[in-house]
């Protein structure tokens, strides 16, 4: 009876020990798996950014002279041509200054003509040797003084005429009046913005590109950009990055890049648009595997297995789904045999027998 009890106890302990061995991986079954040696390809990264349409010419216009607004020739939203009058100041005092300058010029012209006559007269008398040389020198000095006064009067008239012209503000370029900041009767100075003028041609899309892409993009030649306006029904188009500003914004850690927009883009200043930039990256490689090579983790992660020394080796990785029930994995060695079957049964270090399926 005692011997039978000991036999039962020995068998029970043996069973428990065997179970523990299996649980601890000391006794494992070898699993037959299919493997492939994938091909390696270079990948390009796509960067999608939202930019703002800006005008190459955007001016906040101020009057060239201080004064009271006498008339406004345009309103917000008006399309103007270069040289078109936008605003006029009360110019009565400036007109009087011009009239006074004209009178002074006339007087200077009379004085210069009289000085010229007197000098010519004394020169004629000097030929008869009846005039002292001091008188000739005196008349020459009077003529030079009259000529200087005439030049000064001409300059003063030009100055007053220019000041009168500056009482009228004209458009420096063709565009649209985006903002009007004054009204008739208001006093303005040279520091008072009166209009915002925006050119509607030569537009560009400004983008803030993260600084980590600067080295790659600055070394490229022509970089293509696919632009898609954020307006309903807006047609996308292809363009190129026009310029970089090699200064990073300390707040955003991004640098400015611009895309010149074609005249037929049907976009206006202030609109937003999405720019898709393809960034070549030769240091980044990818392999393509069947979807069956991916093992999903309960926490949402994923991994693949490779065969190493007759055992399954787990590699934690992310992947991208491709058409045809395939996936893409980055930065993996193509010399490894990737397991594409029975991955849900595998654990790291489990013995396997590999059946090569070739490359995909």
DSSP 8-53: HHHHHHHHHHHHHHHHTTSS---EEEEEE-PPEEEEEEEEEEEEEE
Hey, what domains does the chain have and what are their CATH numbers? 28-41+285-356 (2.40.420.20), 47-56+201-283 (2.40.30.170), 62-83+170-198 (no CATH), 92-165 (1.10.287)
Assess whether pLDDT exceeds 70 at residue 17. Answer: no
pLDDT mean across residues, the chain: 85
pLDDT band for 3, please (50, 70, 90 cuts).
Answer: very low
**Is 291 within 8 Å of 340 (Cβ atoms)?**
no
pLDDT reported for residue 307: 94
For residue 325, CA distances in Å to 36, 293, 303, 328, 329 come to: 15, 11, 17, 11, 14
Instruction: Choose between 94 and 244: higher pLDDT.
Output: 94
| 347-356 residue pLDDT tens | 999 999 999 8
Residue 285 confidence (pLDDT): 64
Token pair 């007269």 is found at 121
Task: For 148-172, write each residue's pLDDT tens digit.
Answer: 999 999 999 999 999 999 999 999 9
DSSP 304-324: EEEEETTEEEEEE---EEETT
pLDDT tens digit string along 66-104?
999 999 999 999 999 999 999 999 999 999 999 999 999
pLDDT tens for each residue of 174-229:
999 999 999 999 999 999 999 999 998 889 999 998 888 888 787 777 888 999 88
So what's the pLDDT on residue 356?
84
CA distance 271 to 227: 12
Bigger pLDDT: 46 or 5? Answer: 46
pLDDT tens column, 111-134: 999 999 999 989 888 887 777 888
What does the alpha-carbon distance between residue 280 and residue 57 come to, in Å, rounded to a whole number?
33
Q: Please, is 116 exposed, middle or buried when counting C-beta atoms within 10 Å of its C-beta (0-12, 13-18, 19+)?
A: middle
pLDDT of residue 2: 37
Alpha helices in 24-132 (DSSP H): 92-126
Task: Please give the structure tokens belonging to residue 273.
Answer: 């648009």
CA max distance for the chain: 174
């Amino acid at each position: 009876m005692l011997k039978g009890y000991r036999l039962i106890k020995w068998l029970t302990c043996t069973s428990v020990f065997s179970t523990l061995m299996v649980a601890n991986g000391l006794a494992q079954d070898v699993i037959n798996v299919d493997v492939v040696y994938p091909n390696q390809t270079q990948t390009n990264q796509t960067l999608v950014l939202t930019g703002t349409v800006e005008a190459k010419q955007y001016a906040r216009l101020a009057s060239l002279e201080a004064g009271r607004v006498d008339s406004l020739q345009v309103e917000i939203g008006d399309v103007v041509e270069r040289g078109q009058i936008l605003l006029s100041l009360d110019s009565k005092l400036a007109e009087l200054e011009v009239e006074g300058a004209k009178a002074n010029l006339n007087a200077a012209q009379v004085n210069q003509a009289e000085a010229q006559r007197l000098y010519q007269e004394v020169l004629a008398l000097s030929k008869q040797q009846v005039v002292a040389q001091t008188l000739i020198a005196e008349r020459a000095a009077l003529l030079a003084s009259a000529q200087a006064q005439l030049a000064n009067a001409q300059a003063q008239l030009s100055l007053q005429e220019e000041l009168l012209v500056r009482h009228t503000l004209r458009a420096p370029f063709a565009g649209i009046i985006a903002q009007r900041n004054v009204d008739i009767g208001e006093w303005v100075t040279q520091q008072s913005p009166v209009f915002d003028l925006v050119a509607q041609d030569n537009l560009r899309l400004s983008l803030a590109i993260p600084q980590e892409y600067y080295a790659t993009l600055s070394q490229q030649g022509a970089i293509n950009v696919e632009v898609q306006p954020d307006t309903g029904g807006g047609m996308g188009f292809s363009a190129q990055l026009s310029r970089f500003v090699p200064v990073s914004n300390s707040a955003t850690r991004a640098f400015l890049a611009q895309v010149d927009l074609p005249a037929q883009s049907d976009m206006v200043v202030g609109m937003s648009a999405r720019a898709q930039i393809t960034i070549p990256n030769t240091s980044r490689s990818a392999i393509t595997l069947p979807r069956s090579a991916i093992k999903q983790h309960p926490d949402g992660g994923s991994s693949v297995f490779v065969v190493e020394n007759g055992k399954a080796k787990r590699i934690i990785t992310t992947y991208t789904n491709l058409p045809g029930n395939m996936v893409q994995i980055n930065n993996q060695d193509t010399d490894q045999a990737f397991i594409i079957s029975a991955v849900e049964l595998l654990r790291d270090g489990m013995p396997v027998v590999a059946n090569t399926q070739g490359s995909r």
